[in-house]
Amino acid sequence: MKSVVFIEKNPLSNQLRNVSLELTHKAYTLSNPLGGEVVGIFTGDSLPENCDELFQFGMSRLLYFTDERLAHLHSIAYKHILETMINSESPDIVLFGATHTGRDVAPLIASSLKTGMTADCTQLYIDDYKDKGKILYQMRPAFGGNILATIITPDHRPMMATVREGVMLLPDERLNFPVKTEVFPIDFNELWIKSEFLEIVPKVKKVDFNSANIVVSGGAGVGSEENFRLIRELARALGGEVGASRAAVDFGFVEKDHQVGQTGSVVRPKLYIACGISGQIQHRAGMEESQKIIAINKDPDAPIFNIAHMGIVGDLNEIIPVMLRYLKEEG
Amino acid sequence: MKKIVVLAKQVPDTANVTGDAMKADGTVNRAALPAIFNPEDLNALEMALMIKDKIGGEVIVISMGPPKAVEILKHSLYMGADRVMLITDRKFAAADTLATSYVLAEAIKNIGNVDLVLAGRQAIDGDTAQVGPQVADKIGYNQVTYVSKLKEFTDDYLIVERDGEVQTEVIKTAYPVLLTVTAEANTPRYPNCRKMLQYFRVDLKDNFSEDELSVAKENDWIIPTCTIDDLGLEEDRCGLKGSPTKVHKIKSIMLKGGDLKMYGTEATDIRQLVRDIMKDYVEVN
Ligand SMILES: Cc1cc2nc3c(=O)[nH]c(=O)nc-3n(C[C@H](O)[C@H](O)[C@H](O)COP(=O)(O)OP(=O)(O)OC[C@H]3O[C@@H](n4cnc5c(N)ncnc54)[C@H](O)[C@@H]3O)c2cc1C
């Protein structure tokens, strides 16, 4: 059971994206027990600076083709290059990060290979299937998160899947695989370059969920942009990051970068405090893996209490100021 | 004069799961959800109409789906589409993105000389975002996904903004090209009253009675449909047969009940909560 993993870097930092490490590890847990290896494939203008790290998570080899003209996502060029690499390895499994790059290129490749692809998987595992031997089982939410579907690709190879960043966990222990990067020869065709990138404008990124142990989120129940200050203050007092439900974003209480959920970020902090959030399925998709969840909501029947570990039924506008006072006193 | 095809899908309104759509066991009854125009497909249609309004062109909306999907095609006409077409066949059932993109790509080839294909980034029932790119691959067009803004366009090129997560990319592309459009790109217009009157009677052929049919034909009220045979499709590449992915199992999501510790709202209760938080989570420096 050989796996190929698409490796990408953060275009603004020249470092690997976390999802590449996460998927390398996941692929290793899928392939290794069955005696298969994990091969990385990369294309771009230059290799990520820290690509050695991939080998600590179970990668055997990293194939790459770099060219200045590939600094940006030229979908058609990326497709041809990556598809050639995949074909040369004949893998059983191909994993892509469900990033805006992965979700752009991977479907092109699946189309070209006439194989199946499952987007945004939340769980992947190998098991027997009828007389087909071992195959990949791909679980993903569908229907706006109201159902969890298990998708299989029983008759086609490779079996392709994408996974969002932050969904698969990295282990604590490191492997010590030798670093093996190999240039992959490509007969580059100028006609593959079809778009002209006129300008790249970095987004001002104010939100960092990855390094936050605590996330304090506000929802529609916060009531106003003015009241949302309380959420920010509580986050600051706890040394955490500010999150939000989509309703809070839609009402304009807080910028979209803060949105947690199916169409926002997936967060997995040690503690998640949901204030004035009902706990709809799309919101839960982004936070229910948090280690501990505290819910503050004035409706005792709000679904958020069904997944919370600690809860207060009451008005957040009265409760949070008291919390802030005690945080000051106790801290 | 650009020939623009918009890909549209009718989807269950997964956002508004009301009491009526819940089954007794707390799971969603998908059949009971209202069917709506996939939201980001409306943004794609709006973009097509903006281009047409300024540089002229023909906007053709196509949808693969059951006869009921004619509702979104009517809506497209009310918004200003010039032509619509329903691609429908029982054998399309259970199509995954590969089979769907095959059918749509063949329909686009059948229309011929299409300069621009616009699709919503993703449909809210599946959220895969795969159909757009897979169509682009099959018709051999350039693609730009996650288009969050149409900045400039002429007869020769388009300049769009692409949402690249950490960056916004300003991209210039020639025709032909396929774009997938996000909700940020624009605000879809409302149906136009005059158009609603003009297209008041349009419908699928089967929805007219024998007597009405000749009048309907005369007045151009019939929304064209296409089947596997009409498009000369390979049956093995359509529907369930043409879909490499299979749904193995479906589990309705129900809330898991955890151990829940409740705190009161008295100051002393809140102090206890704060202490419990501090004890476990706040890093002491
Ligand atoms: C395709 C799709 C994708 C989506 N993606 C996301 C996503 O990524 N993230 C997301 O969050 N949502 C997403 N949604 C929207 C989601 O369905 C819900 O609409 C949203 O999460 C609701 O936000 P909320 O809980 O803040 O608001 P509401 O559901 O309105 O809940 C507000 C809560 O606040 C409580 N409240 C009110 N006043 C107070 C007060 N003074 N003190 C304490 N509590 C109070 C109420 O009891 C209520 O429980 C998506 C929807 C769709 C269809």
Strands A134-142 and A123-128: antiparallel
pLDDT at B24: 60
Q: Which of B27, B40, B130, B180 to mutate to test the interface with A (most CBs of A within 10 A)?
A: B130
- Are residues A259 and A277 in contact, defined by beta-carbon separation less than 8 angstroms? no
Same domain as A64, residue A133: yes
CA-CA distance, A161 to A119, in Å (whole number)? 6
Tokens of A224: 């106003």
Are A180 and A220 found together in one domain?
no
Q: Give the residue extent of every domain in chain B.
A: 3-237
CB-CB neighbors (< 8 A) of B267 in chain A: 322
A172 and A89 assigned to the same domain: yes
A198-223 pLDDT, tens per residue? 999 998 777 888 878 899 999 999 99
Contacts of B238 in chain A (CB under 8 A): none
Q: Is residue A259 part of a domain?
A: yes
The candidate with the shortest Cα–Cα distance to A303, out of A327, A279, A322, is A279
H/E stretch holding B20 reads none
Q: pLDDT tier at B284 (50, 70, 90 boundaries)? A: very low
Let me know whether A18 and A111 are in one domain: yes
Please tell me what DSSP assigns to residue B113: -
Verify that A79 and A182 share a domain, yes or no.
yes
Structure confidence by residue, pLDDT tens digits, B37-95:
999 999 999 999 999 999 999 999 999 999 999 999 999 999 999 999 999 999 999 99
CB A3 within 8 A of CB A93: yes
Reading across the β-sheet that carries A93-97, which strands appear in turn?
A117-118, A159-163, A93-97, A3-6, A38-44, A61-66, A181-183
Q: Which amino acid is it at A255?
A: E
Residues A122 and A266 in one domain: no
**Residue pLDDT, tens place only, A11-53:** 888 999 999 999 999 999 999 999 999 999 999 999 999 999 9
Note whether B158 and B185 are within 8 A (CB): no
Q: Quick one: tokens of B279?
A: 């004890």
Q: Model's pTM, two decimal places?
A: 0.83
Higher-pLDDT residue of A321 and A148 is A321
Q: Is the pLDDT of residue A69 over 50?
A: yes
Q: What are phi and psi of A151, to 5 degrees?
A: -110, 140
* Parent domain of A228: 214-329
Give the DSSP letter string of B90-102. Answer: GGGTT--HHHHHH
Q: Residue B259 has what pLDDT?
A: 76
| Residues A73, B169: C-beta atoms closer than 8 Å | yes
A209 within a domain of the structure (yes/no) = no
Q: Does any CB of chain A come closer than 8 Å to the CB of residue B246?
A: yes
Facing residue for B248 by CB, picked from A137, A262, A319: A137
Residue B157 has pLDDT above 50, yes or no: yes
Query: Which CATH number goes with the domain that contains A223?
Result: 3.40.50.1220
CATH number of B3-237: 3.40.50.620
Same domain for A37 and A182: yes
Shared-domain flag, residues A176 and A232: no
Assess A189–B contact: CB distance below 8 Å, yes or no: no
Single residue among A192, A224, A259 that ends a domain in this structure:
A192
What is the number of domains present in chain A? 2
* Closest to B61 in 3D by CA, of B100, B12, B107: B107
B2 Cα to the center of ligand 1, angstroms: 42
Confirm or reject contact between B27 and chain A (CB < 8 A).
yes
B26 touches chain A (CB under 8 A): no
Mean predicted confidence (pLDDT) in B197-205 = 95
pLDDT for B125:
86
The mean pLDDT of A79-92, rounded to a whole number, is 98
In a domain, A112, yes or no: yes
The residues in B 193-212 lying below 8 A from A, measured between CB atoms, are none
Query: What is the predicted pLDDT for the residue at B285?
Result: 35
The answer to whether the CB of A64 falls within 8 A of the CB of A47 is: yes
Do A261 and A228 lie in one domain? The reply is: yes
Q: Residues A7, A117: one domain?
A: yes
pLDDT at site A34: 96
Say how many CB pairs under 8 Å bridge A and B. Answer: 253
**Any idea what the CATH number is for the domain that residue A26 is in?**
3.40.50.620
Q: Look at residues A38, A40, A21 and name the one whose alpha carbon lies nearest to residue A184.
A: A40
B72 CA to centre of ligand 1 in angstroms: 28
Residues A170, A272, single domain; the answer is no
DSSP A265-323: B----SEEEEES----HHHHTTTTTSSEEEEEES-TT-GGGGT-SEEEES-HHHHHHHH
Strand A61-66 vs strand B35-37: parallel, antiparallel, or unpaired?
unpaired
